[in-house]
Amino acid sequence: MSDTFDLLIKGGICVTPSGIAEADVGVRAGHIAAIGNLANAKAAEVYDAKGLHVLPGVIDSQVHFREPGNEHKEDLESGSRAAVLGGVTAVFEMPNTNPPTTSRLAMEDKLSRARNRMHCDYAFYVGATPQNVGALSELESMAGVCGVKAFLGSSTGTLLLSEEESIFAALKGGRRRMAVHSEDEARLKERKSFAKTGDPRTHPVWRDAETARLSTERVLRLARAAGRKLHVLHVTTADELPLLADAKDFATAETTPQHLTLAAPECYERLGTYAQMNPPIREAHHREALWKAVAEGVIDVIGSDHAPHTREEKDKTYPDTPSGMPGVQTLATLLLDHVNAGRLSLERFVDLTSAGAARIFGIAGKGRIAKGFDADFTIVDLKKKRKIENSWIASKCGWTPFDGMETTGWPVATIIRGKTVMRDHALTLASQGEPMRFWDTLSST
């Protein structure tokens, strides 16, 4: 008697914990039910993946979808649409909205806004402030919350936790891994005069490597003293990497595709303020150090830090211009291009974009192609060449710093819990997203 599935992915080259090999995958009730030779199986839907690679669904663990408060730049619907068009099956969304996501009421509002509107699965960070440190333990335990995020240096929005006493209180006030934007606020204020009017090339001079190193050194010291797991977001400097390597017993680290792809001063000369983000794109020797850290395992995860702004906002005069760039739709193809160039193995791609996030944040049922796991897949054509173009960016901002760049390796289907939501660069289903579940808070779901 043959097996019957809701979805059968046939003949793809699957990247599983056991290795890379051709296999069929059978999906039933949103979960992976069988892996192997399923030639005699029947299914309501069959996806012929011959010649394609079937990867665990890409998880982008840092996006800013701007809702509520700045929906002219992005909202939960448009940002998640960009995600699935780029092969991303799940996102962690950031709290620096207006108002910021710093209370139970604000979190419930965001979860309500996401319901029946987001195309991918999702979880939200709660933002830490000096005023809410006492409530963070309760807030991080809510269903649909991925953890606490603290801005140690000022960036986009009003969230800031810069004093050592407040940082330590936040670290002591919870148990889940806490994520930080690591720049030293005092040094940022001291060096503001280095940001020269009309010259975005001075952005990494103002927000220099020492600004990041000082902050990371301090927060690692405080987290170790507090006994708290830490996640340092968008690491950009060679200077921070030895500190992070010495803290692998409790600290994890992220970098971004843009910090692995672009370099100063060329990116500022070519893109101007469209290359401006925090922490900045830096000189090539920092980029090479990041690649070495990726190879050595110091970097645990890659997130896009998708942070869109309108052209009108970006076209103002530096430094009166917002920092941030879109990236959720281009994350996978940029990294697959690096795979084709030999800088990343496919297994390492999967670890950085899927298994790593699931492991360090304790996402339940995601991050690998294994029996019983959610049927989340990013199906890619590793040989496909295509130009990245502003015209197909789904984000409301309508631009990408990688416009005109040809990449090799493209997502051709996005499958979330067994439902094909993107195929051949077009949406096939709408609003399938649900909150992610986490080992630490399963009792809250």
- Catalytic residue positions, numbered: 305
**79 and 119 Cβ atoms separated by less than 8 Å:** no
Rounded to 10 degrees, the C-alpha dihedral 93/95/101/103 comes to 100
First to last CA, the chain: 37
**φ, ψ of residue 2 in degrees (nearest 5):** -85, 150
Name the β-bridge partners of 127.
Answer: 149
For residue 380, give both structure tokens: 């890619």
Cα gap 433→219, rounded to integer Å: 34
Rounded to 10 degrees, the C-alpha dihedral 436/120/159/196 comes to 140
**418 and 6 Cβ atoms separated by less than 8 Å:** yes
Residue type for 406, please?
Answer: E
DSSP secondary structure letter of residue 395: S
Q: From residue 304, how far is each of 1, 41, 146, 311, 329 by CA, in Å?
A: 46, 38, 16, 19, 9
In sequence order, what are the residues at sequence separation of 6 or more whose Cβ sits closer than 8 angstroms to the Cβ of residue 380?
A: 52, 53, 55, 87, 332, 336, 409, 410, 411, 412
3-class DSSP state of 260: helix
Cα gap 75→81, rounded to integer Å: 10
Cα gap 417→407, rounded to integer Å: 28
